[in-house]
């Protein structure tokens, strides 16, 4: 059996697509560099709870590996399970590693498996290319209008609605032009199709896919004026897998499934080809500047009305770009570069293994490989060397002959002496054998026996010069950077203070090597560095270290009962690079779901957890009980938590609630799915898992209002260009 990358469902070996969420099943995923996957998660740590909010950056990360805690383990934003390096989805709950979004589950009707495969094949094909390029829809600019609207599927078409609107408007004419497609397929497809629906920043235009057939390798992209949404839309192009609309809604930059990158002028209704064989791109807010990588690892910049300009070749990774796209940071093989518009490229450092974090200030954390052979002799003490020099092979005592003694008593006395000598011989012979074993290890150590130890040198770059922080940085699951401050929490080996092991405690070189490696890792210390100033955290067995966005607090758990998955939660305060002694924050905290800082610095965790439900705590206060741990979301803009209680996994529905200002409020019972759209909640209730239809409601903080009946799926489309930039900003 294999597990779907998208929703976590177990599938039959050989499956091409998940029969639950439609994600393509990769034969073998290529994992990104271990430390980079973690670094990418750190910068979005404070947005994970708002994973379903309609922001372009988060839509992108729905289909690409997450950015941040590679080191702290990259813990799932949804359930808290440690995520292996390079994994795009949680191995426990199937949630996206960055946003925490979980694909909806529903039983599949066997008679429609083939037709569903056609549709999902189309959508998955788009998603696969999205991962290869940007995997993101940018729309509008930083001054985005309120996105209090949503798209939804009904009668096999897409409808548009706003809170308080009198009548929803049908947008598409023939969304899926494939025979046999039914509600079940459309219900699954809605989670992927959402990335192709958008609204311009000023709210005047709607962008959407339509007339998708089984011959398409992407989506046919259309747009129309919202004031004339009932009119026929204008087609931009076909086979589009990702697109961006500028602030003024006059230019659309998009990439097709074959890698061709275009700029489309909405006023002139014509397109200009920027380049072919593009693997990734980033667009400025006005749509007039585009950075892109091609399949030959060449980095270019294109400006409207001008020829493209080659920045560099052999670019292995673009690490970061500023919001205005005037400065871009990238890796060229193992060298780290900075390129500012109007200036020559600048090499920051050589022999760099990975860039962990880059800040707008120009500061950065990165590592250089310090792994290699470690001599075992450096970690042992030959505690019996002198004694073994004097240890010789003992002589076997002679057994007394009966004929040498004239009396029975004399003979018995001689036998008794022999038995005593034999015991002494056995003891000395055992010591001699142990000495020989140590000699064999000594002979091996003379050949400088070594073992490989993965470790790195951690550097801080202040914008001008680099400074080495440590030589023993451990790169796997053991670091976390603050997104809004130049602070990093990490784990490092301390070989200088390592207590050497005694050679006499081992029988062979293999046990000796294994013990040294284990004890080295276990004796590693946890540190916080502000800039390049590092301080050790006074804890011996801490786990799951999480740094907040401001970089002034670290959370971790200790005294963990691994069987019960319970432990004590501690907080460490950081002030100007100095760390306080760990303070107990709460006890008996469930460690299986992790502990998180949210965007407004709330601390959330579970206690009294059983199976998939537990008591939800926010800032030490119990928010609610019997909370379903999946689909727990945080609305950063409105400082609200949304979650399910009394969740029925067989019916896939529960009671939807909201928690704010220390109070919990019920929104509705029997909710199957919900979407957060700028303070409003659209949810499906009374949803049938047989007909795949339900009632769509909009909750705006007061009494919920029904939007429509017989709704198949909700698509909270993207609106407003993310201030975080795009695929380049946190690396690709």
Of 577 and 667, the structure prediction assigns the larger pLDDT to 667
> CA distances (Å), 564 to each of 78, 93, 587, 607, in order?
20, 19, 13, 11
The helix/strand/coil state of 74 is coil
pLDDT at res. 218: 83
Average pLDDT over residues 112-140: 41
501 part of a folded domain: no
CB 633 within 8 A of CB 51: yes
The span from the CA of 533 to the CA of 576, in Å, is 9
Q: What is the dihedral of CA 500, 505, 510, 515, to 10 degrees?
A: -50
* Number of domains present in the structure of the chain: 1
Helix pair 408-446, 509-522: axis angle to 10 deg: 60
CATH no. for residue 217?
Answer: 2.120.10
Asked whether residue 719 carries a pLDDT value surpassing 90, the answer given is no
What DSSP line would sit under 255-298, residue for residue?
A: EETTS-EEEEETTTTEEEEEESSEEEEEE-TTSSEEEEEETTS-
DSSP state of 395: P
Average pLDDT over residues 219-226: 91
pLDDT at res. 473: 92
126 part of a folded domain: yes
End-to-end CA distance of the chain: 30
pLDDT at res. 10: 60
Of 447 and 369, the structure prediction assigns the larger pLDDT to 369
DSSP state of 404: G
CB 731 within 8 A of CB 318: yes
Asked whether residue 104 carries a pLDDT value surpassing 80, the answer given is no
Of 391 and 230, the structure prediction assigns the larger pLDDT to 391
Nearest-Å Rg of the Cα atoms of the chain is 31
335 part of a folded domain: yes
Asked whether residue 645 carries a pLDDT value surpassing 80, the answer given is yes
Nearest to 660 by CA among 625, 698, 621: 621
209 part of a folded domain: yes
The span from the CA of 579 to the CA of 538, in Å, is 9
Confidence bin at 682 (pLDDT 50/70/90): very high
pLDDT digits (tens, 9 = 90+) for 431-486: 999 999 999 999 988 887 787 878 899 999 999 999 999 998 987 667 899 999 99
CB 5 within 8 A of CB 12: no
Confidence bin at 373 (pLDDT 50/70/90): confident
The span from the CA of 363 to the CA of 465, in Å, is 9
The span from the CA of 171 to the CA of 151, in Å, is 9
The span from the CA of 41 to the CA of 612, in Å, is 25
Confidence bin at 125 (pLDDT 50/70/90): very low
- Cβ neighbour number for residue 681 with a 10 Å cutoff: 24
Of 577 and 648, the structure prediction assigns the larger pLDDT to 648
Nearest to 210 by CA among 235, 182, 228, 229: 235
Of 72 and 171, the structure prediction assigns the larger pLDDT to 171
Nearest to 106 by CA among 175, 26, 18: 18
Average pLDDT over residues 327-333: 95
Report residue 148: phi and psi, to 5°.
Answer: -85, 60
The span from the CA of 283 to the CA of 133, in Å, is 13
274 contact partners, CB below 8 Å, separation of at least 6: 253, 261, 262, 263, 290, 292, 302, 308
Asked whether residue 651 carries a pLDDT value surpassing 60, the answer given is yes
Scan for tokens 């946190």, then name that residue: 730
Confidence bin at 718 (pLDDT 50/70/90): low
Confidence bin at 33 (pLDDT 50/70/90): very low
305 part of a folded domain: yes
The span from the CA of 495 to the CA of 200, in Å, is 57
The model's pTM is 0.76
Scan for tokens 């790195």, then name that residue: 456
133 contact partners, CB below 8 Å, separation of at least 6: 241, 242, 255, 259, 278, 279, 280, 281, 727
Parallel, antiparallel, or unpaired: how do β-strands 501-502 and 380-381 relate? parallel
The helix/strand/coil state of 60 is helix
Element (H, E) at 57: helix 56-61
Of 583 and 518, the structure prediction assigns the larger pLDDT to 583
pLDDT digits (tens, 9 = 90+) for 143-169: 334 456 789 999 999 998 876 666 888
pLDDT digits (tens, 9 = 90+) for 187-210: 888 877 877 888 888 888 999 999
- Cβ neighbour number for residue 88 with a 10 Å cutoff: 23
Asked whether residue 102 carries a pLDDT value surpassing 60, the answer given is no
Q: What is the mean pLDDT of the chain?
A: 80
pLDDT at res. 150: 86
pLDDT digits (tens, 9 = 90+) for 509-523: 889 888 988 888 888
Asked whether residue 264 carries a pLDDT value surpassing 90, the answer given is yes
364 part of a folded domain: no
The span from the CA of 449 to the CA of 453, in Å, is 13
10: left (phi over 0), alpha (psi -120 to 50) or beta: beta
Residue 562, CA atoms < 13 Å, CB-side half-sphere? 3
Confidence bin at 592 (pLDDT 50/70/90): confident
Give the 3-state DSSP-derived string for 677-728, with helices as H, strands as E and coil as C: ECCEEEEEEEEECCCCEEEEEEECCCCCEEEEEEECEEECCEECCCCCCCCC
Please, which residues bridge with residue 490 across strands?
Answer: 479, 527
- Cβ neighbour number for residue 566 with a 10 Å cutoff: 19
pLDDT digits (tens, 9 = 90+) for 703-712: 899 999 999 9
pLDDT at res. 28: 34
191 part of a folded domain: yes
Residue 704 buriedness (CB in 10 A; 0-12 / 13-18 / 19+): middle
Token reading at 450: 């070594």
Please, which residues bridge with residue 169 across strands?
Answer: 160
CB 413 within 8 A of CB 400: no
Element (H, E) at 386: helix 385-389
Residue 157, CA atoms < 13 Å, CB-side half-sphere? 11
Report residue 42: phi and psi, to 5°.
Answer: -55, -45
CB 56 within 8 A of CB 47: no
Domain range for residue 326? 121-359
Confidence bin at 1 (pLDDT 50/70/90): low
- Taken in order 365, 368, 372, 378, the sign of the CA dihedral is negative
Nearest to 165 by CA among 711, 715, 720, 706: 706
The span from the CA of 655 to the CA of 699, in Å, is 14
Token reading at 114: 């083939």
Token reading at 421: 């000598």
């Amino acid at each position: 059996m294999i597990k779907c990358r998208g929703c976590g469902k177990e599938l039959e070996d050989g499956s091409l697509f998940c029969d639950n969420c439609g994600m393509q099943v990769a034969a073998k995923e290529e994992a990104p560099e271990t430390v980079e996957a973690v670094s990418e998660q750190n910068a979005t740590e404070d947005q994970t709870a708002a994973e379903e909010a309609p922001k372009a950056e988060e839509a992108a990360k729905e289909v690409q590996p997450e950015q941040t805690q590679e080191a702290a383990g990259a813990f799932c934003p949804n359930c808290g399970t440690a995520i292996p390096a390079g994994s795009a989805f949680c191995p426990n709950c199937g949630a996206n590693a960055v946003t925490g979004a979980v694909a909806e589950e529903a039983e599949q009707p066997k008679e429609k498996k083939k037709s569903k495969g056609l549709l999902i094949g189309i959508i998955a094909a788009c998603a696969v290319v999205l991962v290869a390029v940007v995997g993101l829809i940018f729309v509008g600019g930083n001054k985005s209008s309120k996105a209090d609207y949503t798209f939804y599927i009904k009668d096999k078409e897409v409808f548009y609605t706003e809170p308080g609107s009198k009548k929803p408007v049908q947008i598409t004419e023939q969304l899926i032009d494939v025979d046999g497609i039914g509600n079940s397929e459309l219900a699954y497809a809605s989670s992927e199709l959402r990335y192709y629906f958008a609204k311009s920043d000023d709210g005047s235009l709607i962008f959407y896919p339509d007339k998708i057939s089984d011959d398409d390798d992407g989506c046919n992209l259309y747009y129309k004026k919202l004031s004339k949404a009932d009119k026929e839309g204008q087609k931009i192009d076909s086979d589009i897998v990702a697109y961006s609309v500028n602030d003024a809604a006059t230019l659309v930059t998009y990439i097709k499934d074959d890698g061709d990158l275009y700029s489309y002028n909405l006023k002139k209704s014509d397109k200009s080809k920027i380049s072919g064989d593009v693997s990734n791109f980033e667009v400025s807010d006005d749509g007039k500047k585009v950075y892109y990588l091609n399949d030959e690892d060449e980095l270019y910049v294109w400006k409207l009305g001008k020829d493209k300009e080659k920045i560099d070749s052999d670019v292995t990774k673009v690490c970061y770009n500023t919001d205005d796209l005037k400065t871009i940071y990238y890796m060229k093989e193992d060298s780290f570069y900075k390129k500012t518009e109007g200036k020559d490229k600048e090499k920051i450092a050589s022999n760099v293994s990975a860039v962990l974090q880059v800040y707008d200030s120009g500061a950065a954390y990165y590592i250089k490989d310090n792994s290699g052979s470690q001599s075992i002799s450096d970690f042992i003490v030959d505690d019996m060397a002198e004694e073994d020099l004097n240890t010789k092979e003992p002589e076997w005592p002679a057994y007394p002959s009966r004929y040498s003694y004239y009396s029975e008593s004399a003979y018995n006395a001689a036998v008794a002496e022999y038995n005593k000598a034999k015991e002494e011989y056995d003891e000395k012979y055992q010591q001699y054998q142990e000495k020989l074993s140590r000699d064999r290890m000594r002979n091996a150590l003379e050949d400088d026996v070594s073992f490989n130890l993965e470790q790195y040198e951690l550097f801080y770059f202040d914008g001008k010069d680099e400074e080495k922080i440590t030589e023993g940085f451990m790169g796997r699951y053991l670091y976390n950077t603050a997104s809004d401050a130049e602070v990093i929490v990490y784990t490092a080996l301390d070989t200088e203070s390592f207590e050497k092991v005694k050679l006499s405690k081992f029988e062979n070189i293999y046990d000796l090597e294994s013990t040294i490696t284990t004890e080295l890792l276990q004796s590693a210390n946890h540190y916080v560095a502000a800039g390049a100033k590092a301080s050790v955290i006074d804890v011996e067995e801490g786990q799951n270290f999480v740094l907040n966005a401001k970089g002034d607090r670290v959370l971790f758990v200790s005294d963990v009962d691994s069987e019960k998955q319970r432990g004590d939660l501690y907080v460490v305060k950081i002030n100007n690079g100095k760390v306080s002694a760990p303070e107990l924050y709460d006890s008996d905290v469930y460690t299986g779901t992790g502990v998180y800082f949210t965007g407004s610095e709330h601390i959330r965790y579970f206690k009294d957890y059983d199976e998939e439900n537990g008591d939800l705590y926010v800032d030490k206060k119990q928010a609610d009980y019997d909370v379903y741990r999946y689909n727990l979301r945080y609305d950063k803009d409105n400082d609200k938590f949304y979650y399910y209680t009394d969740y029925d996994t067989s019916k896939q529905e529960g009671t939807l609630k909201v928690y704010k200002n220390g109070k919990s409020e019920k929104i509705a019972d029997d909710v199957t799915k919900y979407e957060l759209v700028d303070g409003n909640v659209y949810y499906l209730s009374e949803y049938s898992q047989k007909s795949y239809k339900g009632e769509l409601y909009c909750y705006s903080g007061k009494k919920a209002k029904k939007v429509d009946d017989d709704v198949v799926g909700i698509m909270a489309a993207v609106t407003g260009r993310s201030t975080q930039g795009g695929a380049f900003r946190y690396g690709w």
